[in-house]
Structure 1
Amino acid sequence: MEQSPLAPQMSGNVLFYKNPEPITPEHHGKLGVKQVAHPYAFVAGSHIIPVTVTEFAPAGLSYPVIFVGEDVKTPLAVMGLRTGDNLYIDANGDFRTDAYVPAFVRRYPFVYANDTESDRMILCVDRSADFVGEDYETPFFVDGKPSDYTNQAMQFCNDFETERQRTTSFMALLAELDLLDRREANFTPRNPDGSAGQPQKIADYWAVSEEKLAKLSPEKLTELRDNGALGQIYAHMNSLMGWDRLIAIAMDRAQRAPAANA
């Protein structure tokens, strides 16, 4: 089967992170972060971003939330129609002000890594981040101890890991109930004369089937409602209407490009 253009490109690495290092006072005691004009510029080259299950509702107001993968499926917010082209980051590297910023983005430059020897999670920082360096405004450490900023980052990453595990359980539930179907996102461009052009496939992905959901027993639907899963399912399903919004943004950008280059 042909690989979807939306398949995540994260093999062996974590998206965004080029040089993650376990953060220690010995190696990072003289480092910190500084304010930069465009803190989300690093997202511009990523058209899909992982989201957790509790983000389906807010993310779904801005993006289609889809599932990608075979044995293990990952929830993704779709921010572009082509690999490496994020339609929600402008030419200056700024997020659209009306768009939701996923936690996966907000935790950067920090991330947890597994220490297999000690069987624990270690907080790491991407040393290659543009806003990390010795000319900092906010230090990582104060008197050899984590600063308030670093402690807050650690708590955020702790919370993110909790949500990630919750998301894994949610995806396992969808698989157990066999609620997912393969879908295609398609786009029909317009010819110069206004007629419909040749349809183009944008993506292959997985989504909850409304038909399969409707076939669940009343008892199971009540259970899903009570544990909160049903609300997340509907948030995902409603988000799929965002494909039209995404296409409209892409068309608007394409129309503006010739004018900008004129």
Structure 2
Amino acid sequence: MTDTTANASPLSGNVLFYGQPEPLSIEAHAKLGVDPVEQPYAFVAEANIVPLTVTEFAPAALTYPVIFVGEARQPVAVMGLRQGENLFVSEAGAFKPEAYIPAYVRRYPFVFANDDVQKRMILCVDRSAAFIKEGGATPLFVDGKPSPYTQQAMEFCNNFEQERQRTEAFVKLLTELELLETREAVFTPRNPDGTAGAPQKIAEYFAVSEDKLKALPAKKLAELRDNGALGQIYAHLVSLLGWDRLIAMAFHKAAASQPAAGNA
């Protein structure tokens, strides 16, 4: 989705998933509330990558490949092999029970945006979120003030902003040390006779080079260990083993969607 208010507002920022982010205010949103939703993550069902903060690398690595993408080397969790397909979230909005849910997803429908005029962060809410309604069960405001629900959301977004800044510093460190290199995720299909077919590239991304990491001076490696960066790097590297699982999941889903032989 795109930010439909971007051309009419000084607010800016990364708003993946947010169809209609609006600065939260008592004037505009006093009557709004949130209704409980049994499977609330339908908005993620068509996202094949989701941003991560660096402190999420270890828990996310148990479920997804954790890679770096784009000019900014944004760390993301890979949830599908194709755009528009998420192998971990059903169309109804349910994450697989074993899947880690990134903080980027959990903060929805709230998000901080940059106010470029006043040079500050503004808490916004996605007015197009399906579970935000007039008279919703959990109000956004009570007695003219942010409700406990909204206060909790504000605290979560504040913490997320701190983690986002920590992530930017981590990526800057990797860049300065020239540890990132271009990698490919490749699938080798099997021919009908059992022999290996031609390899197929399914993704190109940035990852830490183990050779460059090993080549760092011992003092620099010790610094990375002591500031926690080395642990996050290894979590990222271990997560790359998840490409095979992701490929297997994609093939299983494709096979399940095919009509059974003889049922045509």
Aligned to 1:148: 148
CA–CA distance in structure 1, aligned partners of residues 57 and 197 of structure 2: 33
**Residue 131 (structure 2) pairs with residue 131 (structure 1):** yes
Aligned to 1:244: 244
Aligned to 2:157: 157
Q: Secondary structure at the match of 1:247?
A: helix
Q: List aligned pairs for 1:161-172, cutoff 5 A.
A: 161-172=161-172
Q: List aligned pairs for 1:188-203, cutoff 5 A.
A: 188-203=188-203
Q: CA deviation at 1:198?
A: 2.8
Partner amino acid for 1:50? P
Q: CA deviation at 1:196?
A: 2.7
Summarize deviations over 1:135-170 as a string: whole Å, max 9, x none: 411000001100000000000000000000000000
Identify unmatched segments of 5+ residues in structure 2.
4-11
Q: CA deviation at 1:12?
A: 7.4
Greater mean deviation of Cα atoms: 249-258 or 170-179: 249-258
Q: CA deviation at 1:259?
A: 4.7
Partner amino acid for 1:198? A
Q: CA deviation at 1:190?
A: 2.6
Summarize deviations over 1:101-140 as a string: whole Å, max 9, x none: 0000000000001112222111000000000111411000
Q: Which runs of 4+ in 1 moved over 4 A?
A: 9-13, 259-262
Q: List aligned pairs for 1:200-239, cutoff 5 A.
A: 200-239=200-239
**TM-score with structure 2 setting the length:** 0.91
CA–CA distance in structure 2, aligned partners of residues 151 and 185 of structure 1: 42
Q: CA deviation at 1:80?
A: 0.3
Aligned to 1:37: 38
Summarize deviations over 1:64-91 as a string: whole Å, max 9, x none: 0001123x21001000000110011124
CA–CA distance in structure 2, aligned partners of residues 260 and 129 of structure 1: 38
Q: Secondary structure at the match of 2:258?
A: helix
Aligned identity (percent) is 65
Aligned to 1:256: 256
Identify unmatched segments of 5+ residues in structure 1.
1-8
**Residue 95 (structure 2) pairs with residue 81 (structure 1):** no
Partner amino acid for 2:81? L
Summarize deviations over 1:205-260 as a string: whole Å, max 9, x none: 11000000001111111111000000001011111001011011111111211258
C-alpha change, 1:256 and 1:23, in structure 2 (3 Å) is same
Summarize deviations over 1:188-212 as a string: whole Å, max 9, x none: 2233443333321111111000000
Q: Secondary structure at the match of 1:32?
A: strand
Aligned to 2:119: 119
Q: Aligned pair count?
A: 254
Aligned to 1:21: 22
CA–CA distance in structure 1, aligned partners of residues 169 and 14 of structure 2: 23
Greater mean deviation of Cα atoms: 146-155 or 10-19: 10-19
Partner amino acid for 1:231? G
Aligned to 1:101: 101
C-alpha change, 1:27 and 1:134, in structure 2 (3 Å) is same
Aligned to 2:58: 57
